[in-house]
Amino acid sequence: MIIIAGDSWGCGEWGPGGSGIIVHTGLEQYLQDDGYNVINISYGGSSNIHVCNQLNTSLYTLSCVKKVDEVKNIFVFQTEWHRDHRYTLPVDSIFDISYIHMAMSDYYYRLSDIASKYNVRIGLIGGCTDILWLDAFEKEYPGVFIACQSMINLCLHDNHRTDNPLFNLENDLHLVEKIKANNSQNTEFLLAQISATVQRREEMHNCPYIFAPDFVHANKFGHEKLYNFIKLQSMLS
């Protein structure tokens, strides 16, 4: 049994124009086509902590019916850090990359606790956002490993690694205004983050083969590339 968790990226390919219709279930479908039993608990708009809670609940339910031992692989699509921190950002904080790293690290520790509790391994996939890279990632976060640091980078450049990971794909204007108002030292960092996000979205728009029809998610061809990468790296039990 394989569990897929995450936000809208974990759901697969979405239809055009914000239709809200999933036209291909992506990684889930490719796994099923190869004979794997898949449970996909991904949900559009989920935050990272919400995903943790959903995964914990699913594993608890499986443990109650004595089926948690059937879980051979878990893949979690990471989403934007600010979905959890929009209303919890300290008003006097200096907002920089270290703050985002702290937020992401807290998320990885939560996943590690789940992995330890149910004796499973969790592979992180950078979908909407990239994974924070550590060479000894699983040593710091036992039971959690990087399956694909950046799916977007994999699709665009045939390399899942990136030296400059991005942790958002959309700019939360409410959060941007809040950060700017709280501390002027944050403005330069914010502008750099926004610029990097705009550049990434432009790259996606210039690659319709992978990101059409909605240009916000990878389509079935992007998910096929991810699936082939996961198979090549022998991550499937």
Q: Which string of DSSP letters, residue by residue, matches 51-90?
A: HHHHHHHHHHHHHHTT-GGG--EEEEEE--THHHHTTTS-
In a domain, 237, yes or no: no
Instruction: Please state the pTM of the whole predicted model.
Output: 0.93
User: What domain range is 54 assigned to?
Assistant: 2-232
What CATH code is carried by the domain that includes residue 208?
A: 3.40.50
What pLDDT, on the 0 to 100 scale, is given for residue 173? 65
In a domain, 50, yes or no: yes
- Higher pLDDT, residue 91 or 41: 41
The mean pLDDT of 81-102, rounded to a whole number, is 74
Do residues 75 and 125 touch, judged by C-beta distance below 8 A? yes
Distance CA 226, CA 28 (A): 11
Q: Which of 4-13, 23-32, 85-94, 185-194 has the lowest mean pLDDT?
A: 85-94
In a domain, 152, yes or no: yes
Q: How many domains does the chain have?
A: 1
Percent residues over pLDDT 70 in the chain? 89
What pLDDT, on the 0 to 100 scale, is given for residue 142? 98
Say how many Å lie between the first and final Cα of the chain, rounded. Answer: 9
Question: Which amino acid type is present at position 123?
Answer: G
What pLDDT, on the 0 to 100 scale, is given for residue 69? 95
What pLDDT, on the 0 to 100 scale, is given for residue 190? 73
Question: Which amino acid type is present at position 85?
Answer: H
Strand 144-148 with 122-126, pairing: parallel
What pLDDT, on the 0 to 100 scale, is given for residue 25? 97
The mean pLDDT of 127-153, rounded to a whole number, is 96
Do residues 138 and 144 touch, judged by C-beta distance below 8 A? yes
Q: Which of 83-92, 124-133, 147-156 has the lowest mean pLDDT?
A: 83-92
The mean pLDDT of 32-40, rounded to a whole number, is 96
What pLDDT, on the 0 to 100 scale, is given for residue 113? 98
The mean pLDDT of 72-81, rounded to a whole number, is 95
Give the model confidence (pLDDT) of 210-227 as tens digits. 999 999 999 999 999 999
In a domain, 160, yes or no: yes
What pLDDT, on the 0 to 100 scale, is given for residue 191? 75
User: What Å distances lie between residue 171 and 39, 42, 127, 129, CA to CA?
Assistant: 31, 22, 16, 12
What pLDDT, on the 0 to 100 scale, is given for residue 134? 93
In a domain, 157, yes or no: yes
